[in-house]
Amino acid sequence: MQVRYRVIVGVLIAALMTIVAPLGCTANQSQNPAPTTAAPVAVRPAATPTTSPSPTLPTGILFQNVRIFNGKDPQLSAASNVLVVQNKIKTISTAAIPAPAGTTLTQIQGNGRVLIPGLIDNHVHITLSSMSQPELMNPKTPLETISANATKEAEAMLLRGFTTVRDLGGPIFDLKKAIDQGKTPGPRVYPSGAMISQTSGHGDSRSETERSRRFFGEVSRGEQLGSNFIADGRDEVLTATRENLRFGASQIKVMAGGGAATMYDPLDVSQYTLDELKAAVEAAADWNTYVTVHAYTSRAVRRAIEAGVKCIEHGQLLDEATMKLLAEKGVWLSLQALDPAPPTADPFVRQKKQTVVDGTDNAFKWAKQYNVKLAWGTDFLFAPANNKNQNKDIVKLAKWLTPAAALKLVTYDNAQLLTLSGPRNPYQDGKLGIIEPGAYADLLLVEGEPLKDLAVMADYDQNFKVIVKDGKIYKNTVS
């Protein structure tokens, strides 16, 4: 009797807990409705995402009769079959693959179409690209609106074929978590969190007349949103870096020089002293990950390299000698084929942007010539109507690269940069950017001949017939 009584009491307590716990959670959320600002909840930075939502049988996908661009080799395979089980590629064979017993299998007839790895964009800002700057910076814009727009943009990005992105600044941690938990569709995200900028730096997003919070002003909107930290001196840079790491950053983004899209920092300026840059590098290295910096000029890039920075974002204004130095030191260059600013932009911004656009040609040419470790991204910001052009930036690469080299850059090569996050890599259970047994099942079935004509990649809506991420089908228009 006593034993039985204890069991009943135990069951009652457990039942009560399950009722109380969600209630507590809801109450907490309604008090603190800030889904886009990283809430101080327990963070598991290197956790492997949960995959399919505990089905009774393991799921599988069998692609039949596809020609494979594996991410690396410059030619397509012979007609092949590819079996995916759960979230990994299991078997690739030119012979028929029998349906594995005990799986819920989806068969997809490729009819000779091309199977490629999911695309990787190494420079995005999911949240900051989902709204205009005035909307985001308006204190009256509710956080829920920002969160809803970012969530929508993440899904749109996945449906453009981008199965993995490196988010280089902006509120992202909660959205990344929701995507990984399968609560909302989106790409895998390597998050940086808030961009770290000096006062007057490229990430100092205050309005023209707004004063520094250190000198009679208030905390700025960008800082409140988790878009940026304005951090000066070694101590503040250390805190800002560690704060991002605590929330789950897989790498740290620091602004090391002037930018094109901003009103108050000219292109030629270097940002952060050597010692401040070193502070960020040291704090990141203690967490076994790396710093990437926004920088265009040789002076800014050389200082960053001296500080131990492992990756440069942009670099369109580098001279030839600095490009050689990148190659020598094995520092990554994450390049974009940027567009000129629209005619409606401020003349100062237009002129800066044009300077950068003009430098792009040399940057790609030299990076190729000197064998610099090259990565690619798009860096769309504050213009949601433009986001649908993300894939067109792949087509632009045809100016410098063969279609095969361009596709390798946006899949296999980009995936190599992501491994720099070491133990902070949120997806270490398989390889990305490659089609081989054991790799994550992130796959696109493409209509047309992308290795002959890169333009095929622009019309994602028509040409990406199937989109699979982590073994889950997000789009299928063939079967």
Segment near Zn ion (CB under 5 A), from 326-334, 377-385, 429-437, 450-458?
377-385
Q: Whose Cβ is closer to Zn ion: residue 313's or residue 442's? A: 313
CA 355 centroid distance within chain: 26
Tally Cβ neighbours within 10 Å of residue 23. Answer: 10
- Total residues in contact with Zn ion, by rule CB under 5 A: 1
Which of these, 244, 309, 317, lies nearest to 272 by C-alpha position?
309
Q: Which residue is nearest to Zn ion (CB)?
A: 379
Q: Which of residues 333-352 bind Zn ion (CB under 5 A)?
A: none
Q: Whose Cβ is closer to Zn ion: residue 180's or residue 379's? A: 379
Q: Which of residues 410-469 bind Zn ion (CB under 5 A)?
A: none
379 binds Zn ion (CB under 5 A): yes
Which of these, 371, 414, 426, lies nearest to 124 by C-alpha position?
414
CB 197, min distance to Zn ion, A: 12
Q: Whose Cβ is closer to Zn ion: residue 63's or residue 229's? A: 229
Segment near Zn ion (CB under 5 A), from 229-237, 273-281, 375-383, 454-462?
375-383
Q: Whose Cβ is closer to Zn ion: residue 174's or residue 379's? A: 379
Segment near Zn ion (CB under 5 A), from 56-64, 281-289, 379-387, 414-422?
379-387
Q: Whose Cβ is closer to Zn ion: residue 262's or residue 425's? A: 262
SS3 labels along 367-424? HHHCCCCEEECCCCCCCHHHHHHCCHHHHHHHHCCCHHHHHHHHHHHHHHHHHHHHHH
Contact of 60 with 105, CB cutoff 8 Å = yes
Angle at 449 between CA 445 and CA 455, to 5 degrees: 100
CA dihedral (28, 243, 37, 118) in degrees, to 10, reads -120
Q: Whose Cβ is closer to Zn ion: residue 290's or residue 440's? A: 290
Segment near Zn ion (CB under 5 A), from 48-56, 109-117, 376-384, 427-435?
376-384
> Rounded CA gap, 248 and 396, in Å?
33
Cβ within 8 Å of residue 13, ≥6 positions away: none
223 binds Zn ion (CB under 5 A): no
Q: Measured over all CA atoms, what is the biggest interatomic distance in the chain, rounded to whole angstroms?
A: 85
> Rounded CA gap, 346 and 258, in Å?
16
> Rounded CA gap, 446 and 389, in Å?
18
CB 421, min distance to Zn ion, A: 18
Q: Whose Cβ is closer to Zn ion: residue 378's or residue 411's? A: 378
Residue identified by tokens 């079935």 is 445
- Give the pair of three-digit tokens for residue 218: 């208030």
CB 381, min distance to Zn ion, A: 6
Q: Whose Cβ is closer to Zn ion: residue 167's or residue 470's? A: 167
CB 125, min distance to Zn ion, A: 6
CB 462, min distance to Zn ion, A: 29
CB 158, min distance to Zn ion, A: 20
CB 200, min distance to Zn ion, A: 18
CB 379, min distance to Zn ion, A: 4
Contact footprint for Zn ion (CB under 5 A): 379
